[in-house]
Amino acid sequence: MSKIWEISGEAPKTDENPEKILNEYASRLKDDTDGKFVGLVTETIQEDTASATYALYIVVPALKSYMYRLIEVNSQDLVAPYPVELRLFAKDPKYHKSFYAQDAKSYRLKLEELIKSAATKAILVHLKTLIEIKKEYSKE
């Protein structure tokens, strides 16, 4: 019997995959914060629409591994993942905006912009303060 299924064509560039890129940024969080925070990426796939949602969480080991969802990325097609929609989650509603990236380059630029934003810095400061408060109370 001959093959009826064949894998052919140009393979997509894995370094341009939205989930892989998000994981790259998540992995840098621990080093950039001297281990205070750890990045975690989750994936949810909607089988009926072939769409995917990736979420970047800030995990705080000192606070019983508390998880703060920072960025969510929505891809409408697993086969052709771009464009993607990015959302930054922050307490202040003025930071709740959606952004679109048409390709891997614009996606990386937008991720860096969101990670370096005032909203993200404020979240990290708040979480660091909670860690310090916990340390104070645990000494007593």
For the stretch 91-133, pLDDT in tens is 767 667 789 999 999 999 999 999 999 999 999 999 999 999 9
Please state, in angstroms and rounded to a whole number, the distance separating the CA atoms of residues 95 and 134: 28
| 79-86 own/partner pairs: CB under 8 Å, 24+ apart | 79/50, 81/17, 81/18, 81/52, 82/18, 82/107, 84/18, 86/110, 86/111, 86/114
Question: Where do the structural domains in the chain lie, given as residue ranges?
Answer: 14-139
| Per-residue model confidence as pLDDT tens digits over 44-97 | 998 888 899 999 999 999 999 999 999 999 999 888 889 999 999 877 676 677
pTM of the model: 0.86
